[in-house]
Amino acid sequence: MSSRIDHFIAGKQFSEADSRTGPVFNPSTGREISRCAYASRSTVDHAVQVATEAGRRWARGSHASRQAVIFKLRDLMLHNFDLLAEVIGREHGKTIEDAKGELGRAIEGIEFACGAPHVSKGEYANNVGGDIEVFSMRRPIGVVGCITPFNFPIMVPAVMMTMAVAVGNSVVWKPSEKVPSAAIEFARLWKEAGLPDGVFNVVQGDKEVVDAILEHPGIAGISFVGSTPVGEYIYQKGTSHNKRVAAFTGGKNHMIVMPDADLDAAASAFVSAGFGSSSQRCMAVSLLLPVGHETADRLLELVIPKIKALKVGAYDDPSADFGAVVSCESKATVERAIGRCIEEGGQMVVDGRNVSVPGHPDGYYLGPTLFDRVTTNMQMYKEEVFGPVRGILRPATLNEAIDITNEHEYGNGSVIFTRDGKTAHRFMMEVESGMIGVNVPVPLPTASFNFGGLRRSRFGDGHLYGPDAARFYTKLKTISQRWPEPDTAALPISLAFNPAG
Ligand code: NAD
pLDDT digits (tens, 9 = 90+) for 360-387: 999 999 999 999 999 999 999 999 999 9
Amino acid 488: pLDDT: 65
- Mean pLDDT value across residues 186-208: 98
Residue among 159, 156, 140 at smallest CA distance from 148: 156
Q: Evaluate: CB of 411 within 6 angstroms of ligand 1.
A: no
Report, as residue numbers or ranges, the catalytic residues.
Answer: 282
More confident residue, 316 or 450: 316
Q: Evaluate: CB of 98 within 6 angstroms of ligand 1.
A: no
Those residues with Cβ within 8 angstroms of residue 26's Cβ, 6 or more apart along the chain or in another chain: 33, 90, 91, 93
What is the overall mean pLDDT for the chain?
95
Give CA–CA dist 372/375, Å, rounded: 9
Q: Give, using CA atoms, the residue closest to atom 26 of ligand 1.
A: 149
Give distance in angstroms: CA of 394 to centre of ligand 1: 31
Q: Give, using CA atoms, the residue closest to atom 30 of ligand 1.
A: 226
Q: Evaluate: CB of 227 within 6 angstroms of ligand 1.
A: yes
Ligand 1 pocket test, candidate residues 176, 208, 435, 463, most atoms within 8 A of CB: 176
Give distance in angstroms: CA of 387 to centre of ligand 1: 14
In which band, very low, low, confident or very high, does the pLDDT at 499 lie, cut at 50, 70 and 90? low
Give CA–CA dist 54/170, Å, rounded: 7
User: Looking at this protein, which amino acid is placed at residue 113?
Assistant: A
- Mean pLDDT value across residues 137-146: 97
Q: Evaluate: CB of 236 within 6 angstroms of ligand 1.
A: no
- Mean pLDDT value across residues 19-28: 97
Amino acid 128: pLDDT: 87
CB 234 within 8 A of CB 224: yes
Q: Evaluate: CB of 330 within 6 angstroms of ligand 1.
A: no
- Mean pLDDT value across residues 176-187: 98
What's the gap between Cα 59 and its chain centre? 25
CB 11 within 8 A of CB 17: no
Amino acid 232: pLDDT: 98
Give distance in angstroms: CA of 247 to centre of ligand 1: 10
Residue 112 has pLDDT above 70, yes or no: yes
- For 3-15+32-249+457-479, CATH gives 3.40.605.10
Q: Evaluate: CB of 177 within 6 angstroms of ligand 1.
A: yes
- Beta strands of 326-385 (E only): which ranges? 347-350, 369-372
* DSSP-H helix ranges across 31-124: 41-60, 63-79, 81-92, 96-113, 116-119
Give CA–CA dist 220/175, Å, rounded: 18
Give CA–CA dist 40/135, Å, rounded: 43
Those residues with Cβ within 8 angstroms of residue 317's Cβ, 6 or more apart along the chain or in another chain: 95
Give distance in angstroms: CA of 109 to centre of ligand 1: 20
Question: Which of ligand 1's atoms lies nearest the C-alpha of 326?
Answer: 25
Q: Above pLDDT 70, what percent of the chain? A: 98
Q: Evaluate: CB of 384 within 6 angstroms of ligand 1.
A: yes
Ligand 1 pocket test, candidate residues 20, 36, 214, 230, most atoms within 8 A of CB: 230
In which band, very low, low, confident or very high, does the pLDDT at 92 lie, cut at 50, 70 and 90? very high
- Mean pLDDT value across residues 132-147: 96
Q: Evaluate: CB of 148 within 6 angstroms of ligand 1.
A: yes
Residue 492 has pLDDT above 80, yes or no: no
Give distance in angstroms: CA of 425 to centre of ligand 1: 33
Encode pLDDT of 232-262 as tens digits.
999 999 999 999 999 999 999 999 999 999 9
Q: Evaluate: CB of 465 within 6 angstroms of ligand 1.
A: no
| CATH fold of the domain at 253-438 | Aldehyde Dehydrogenase; Chain A, domain 2 (3.40.309)
Amino acid 485: pLDDT: 79
Q: pTM for the complete prediction?
A: 0.95
Residue 1 has pLDDT above 90, yes or no: no
Q: Evaluate: CB of 439 within 6 angstroms of ligand 1.
A: no
Question: Which of ligand 1's atoms lies nearest the C-alpha of 386?
Answer: 31
What is the side-by-side order of every strand in the sheet holding 458-459?
A: 12-14, 7-9, 200-202, 170-174, 143-147, 221-225, 244-248, 458-459
Give distance in angstroms: CA of 111 to centre of ligand 1: 25
- Mean pLDDT value across residues 439-467: 91
Those residues with Cβ within 8 angstroms of residue 480's Cβ, 6 or more apart along the chain or in another chain: 128, 132, 133, 134, 500
Amino acid 74: pLDDT: 98
Question: Which of ligand 1's atoms lies nearest the C-alpha of 384?
Answer: 32
Give distance in angstroms: CA of 348 to centre of ligand 1: 29
Domain boundaries, the chain: 3-15+32-249+457-479, 253-438
Encode pLDDT of 30-51 as tens digits.
999 999 999 999 999 999 999 9
- Mean pLDDT value across residues 94-114: 97
Encode pLDDT of 401-413 as tens digits.
999 999 999 999 9
* DSSP-H helix ranges across 276-323: 293-308
In which band, very low, low, confident or very high, does the pLDDT at 500 lie, cut at 50, 70 and 90? low
Q: Above pLDDT 90, what percent of the chain? A: 91
Amino acid 317: pLDDT: 97
